[in-house]
Structure 1
Amino acid sequence: MRYLGFILLLGLFSYQPAPKFPSKLSDYGLFQGDLKNHVPNVGVTPYELISPLFSDYAHKLRFIQLPAGQSVAYNPDSVFQFPVGTRIAKTFYYPMDERNPKGGRRIMETRILSHEPSGWVALPYIWNEEQTEAYLEVAGGTSLVEFKNQQGKKQQVNYVIPNMNQCKGCHERDGIMTPIGPSARQMNASMRYAHGDENQLDYWSRSNQMSEVPVSRPKFVSYIDESAAINDRVKAYLDINCAHCHNPKGPAKSSGLFLDYRYYGTTAYGMMKSPVAAGRGSGGLLYDIVAGKPSESILHYRMNSQDPGVMMPELGRTIIHQEGVALIREWIKSIN
């Protein structure tokens, strides 16, 4: 009995209760006024990415809240390393009609990345039908949404909200959760603030949210910018849509296919590279990329599929990104 009592006492000291998170998005206090309008409170900064991740044609609103009195250190190469206490909010929505942005929208979810002392935690909040509140749903969910695209054509998406564990599939590096988008190369662009347009990195520096921002810094092109060089568009596209998994520290590291922009031009980027344990995902094709031949390239094949056992990315989309596939197709055709 004395031994059992010691074990129980030891358990009391070693047990770490799971952190409790708000059940409602409004409880974070990120926004003022009508929640659906996403007007940031003091200390909450909106941001944009030059080349954002494709998510079934959903539009996104992005915000970061740093701990009071703290800033993030600038670095030119990787996602910024935010201090403990940081919260990143990303809201996914569909305009009723993409030709009329002021004509109303359907908000699907807001994902919160919270930097806890134990590491980053991903929390999905699903918006109600009334569009008045979003509620924490650790199991995720699905919801059918309809909208009209830029051509006025009616679109229908069975929108999937990932559960907390699925978030790890994209956000982990060496088993550690980390943000994906906010980096110098993605944020080195002008954004409209209440006071007017200003480069985001300059604004963060001027408002003491970022330290030691140099004059010279990297910058992606927008992959939808057809006036930009196709090589630069492809580097930006594959980096944001694929490289969070396909890198030497990501969940797909065993594939040996690394689509981080810094690997462009190497064998690891896929040129005449044989797949590793791709199974039927290879479609019977022999190489990830075959110069001049998209139809013989596994990269193009998997991007152009909706088969859950074939398609890439595995998470984050249920339909084909037609413009992304077209970009990769034209790029492969242009390779000599």
Structure 2
Amino acid sequence: MSTRERRPTRAGSALLWLAVAGLAAAGCDDFHECDPPDPERQAELPAALSETGLYADIAARAVASDVVAYEPGFALWSDGAEKQRFIRLPPGAQIDTGDQDAWQFPDGTRLWKEFRRDGALVETRVLAKVGPAPEDWASVAYVWNADGTDALATPGGAADARGTPHDVPAAAECMGCHGGTRSRVLGFSAIQLATSRGEVDLDEVVARGMLSDPPPRPIQLPGDAVTRDALGWLHANCSHCHNRSRPKSDGARCYDPERRFDFTLRVGELASVESTATYRTAVGLVINRGDPDGSDVVDRARRRDPGWPSMPPLGTEIVDEAGLAVLRTWIRNL
């Protein structure tokens, strides 16, 4: 992975440099040095996707009977790629949900996320719990072969994979996002399942006995539809970096901004919009009431110029116009 720090392309522009300086002062800078993944943990992952347990019959795309498909309520933007997500717990195991905002998954858990771009099946990422400690995770992307019969682990990542504009991340990059939360799992949580539009929602997960401590319900986001969508977009796209409870690391600060503001939606902070971390920590700092174009979060999300520190920084070369429109509307109405 490149270790160079991204810089604005028009270095001679005083106004642009002032904007970047303002963003850095707000605690939102890019850190691109990622430690290589632990080789012992990575060795727990097989070389081929067909050996990971996702499929009973990979040729027929028949998912194994102990694998559960799910859909988070709010998805990370990935340039319009189609995604499918799956999880498997070890037999008889439960997720430790004593902390409803930081679920801890049992050793042996595996999660998969499949990506299609422009109709082509490109990659399937695997996140596997390979030990008892919270940080004992291994992750790698499997790139599909041309005839779709299997996918091979590609720890170095791949640019424009399978002839599409889709870039597959290197294994070192995975914890740039997943390492930003104590759970390490981003899309399978109380908030994401309570807002899910899929068949497997929070109630279904509870009914399946997957949780040690079922969360209090109902879990409902505050505000009107635009507000809920804006808070959800920030939670899905930004909170894995921008939160005040990021695990500390002795290694490189890989996509690890300062903790001055927090976009995390938490189960106990949903009584009102004003009680959310976004409202308490970001409004007035990087979100200006009534002024979307004067808000740093919009400035980050609206551009993908080469070298510009965009938000989110990974897995995207195209602006999420729908998400940006929701964000602008919400800020304009504050």
Q: TM-score band (shorter)?
A: 0.7 to 0.9
Say yes or no: does 1:317 pair with 2:322. no
Give secondary structure in 2 for the equivalent of 1:264.
helix
1:94-138 deviation digits (Å, cap 9, x = unpaired): 3x5xxxxxxxx3111111001011601111111112122111000
User: Partner residue of 2:122?
Assistant: 108
User: Partner residue of 1:8?
Assistant: none
Q: Is this contact kept in 2: 1:74–1:213, CA < 8 A?
A: yes
- Quote how far apart the aligned CAs of 1:82 are: 0.9
User: Partner residue of 1:152?
Assistant: none
User: Partner residue of 1:232?
Assistant: 228
User: Partner residue of 2:72?
Assistant: 49
- Give the counterpart letter for 1:330 in structure 2: T
- Quote how far apart the aligned CAs of 1:207 are: 2.9
User: Partner residue of 1:203?
Assistant: 204
Give secondary structure in 1 for the equivalent of 2:165.
strand
Q: Distance in 2 between matches of 1:16 and 1:32?
A: 27
Give secondary structure in 2 for the equivalent of 1:249.
coil
User: Partner residue of 2:112?
Assistant: 89
1:40-66 deviation digits (Å, cap 9, x = unpaired): 212111111111111111111111111
Aligned length: 274
Q: Is this contact kept in 2: 1:121–1:177, CA < 8 A?
A: no
- Quote how far apart the aligned CAs of 1:216 are: 1.5
1:271-310 deviation digits (Å, cap 9, x = unpaired): 232xxxxxxxxxxxxxx22222222211111100102332
After TM superposition, what 4+ stretches of structure 1 lie above 4 angstroms from structure 2?
A: 15-18, 189-192
Cα distance change, pair 130–217 in 1 and its aligned pair in 2 (3 A): same
User: Partner residue of 1:142?
Assistant: 159
Give secondary structure in 2 for the equivalent of 1:265.
helix
2:87 pairs, out of 53, 59, 64, with 64
User: Partner residue of 1:179?
Assistant: 185
User: Partner residue of 2:242?
Assistant: 246
1:206-258 deviation digits (Å, cap 9, x = unpaired): 3332334256242459xxxxx95222111111011100000013354515121
1:115-172 deviation digits (Å, cap 9, x = unpaired): 01160111111111212211100000122679xxxxxxxxxx6211110111121111
TM-score (norm 2): 0.74
1:258-278 deviation digits (Å, cap 9, x = unpaired): 111331321x21x232xxxxx
Say yes or no: does 1:258 pair with 2:281. no
Q: Distance in 2 between matches of 1:305 and 1:45?
A: 36
- Quote how far apart the aligned CAs of 1:18 are: 6.2
Q: Is this contact kept in 1: 2:96–2:212, CA < 8 A?
A: yes
- Quote how far apart the aligned CAs of 1:30 are: 1.7
Say yes or no: does 1:330 pair with 2:334. no
Give secondary structure in 2 for the equivalent of 1:107.
strand
Give secondary structure in 2 for the equivalent of 1:325.
helix
Q: What 5-or-longer segments of structure 1 have no aligned partner? A: 1-14, 97-104, 147-156, 222-226, 274-287
Q: Is this contact kept in 1: 2:180–2:256, CA < 8 A?
A: no
User: Partner residue of 1:168?
Assistant: 175
Q: Is this contact kept in 2: 1:120–1:177, CA < 8 A?
A: no
User: Partner residue of 2:34?
Assistant: none
Q: Distance in 1 between matches of 2:287 and 2:232?
A: 17
- Quote how far apart the aligned CAs of 1:173 are: 3.2
User: Partner residue of 1:299?
Assistant: 297
Identity of aligned residues (%): 28
2:96 pairs, out of 60, 73, 79, with 73
Q: Is this contact kept in 2: 1:76–1:185, CA < 8 A?
A: no
1:179-212 deviation digits (Å, cap 9, x = unpaired): 11111121126776xxxx5x53333333332334
Give secondary structure in 1 for the equivalent of 2:121.
strand
Cα distance change, pair 236–17 in 1 and its aligned pair in 2 (3 A): closer
Q: Distance in 2 between matches of 1:87 and 1:328?
A: 33
Cα distance change, pair 161–289 in 1 and its aligned pair in 2 (3 A): same
Give secondary structure in 2 for the equivalent of 1:216.
coil
- Give the counterpart letter for 2:232 in structure 1: A
Higher relative contact order (CA 8 A, sep 6+): 2
Cα distance change, pair 162–332 in 1 and its aligned pair in 2 (3 A): same
Q: Distance in 2 between matches of 1:68 and 1:166?
A: 30
User: Partner residue of 2:166?
Assistant: 159
Q: CA RMSD in A?
A: 2.8
User: Partner residue of 2:219?
Assistant: 218
User: Partner residue of 1:30?
Assistant: 54
Cα distance change, pair 17–143 in 1 and its aligned pair in 2 (3 A): closer
Q: Distance in 2 between matches of 1:160 and 1:318?
A: 9
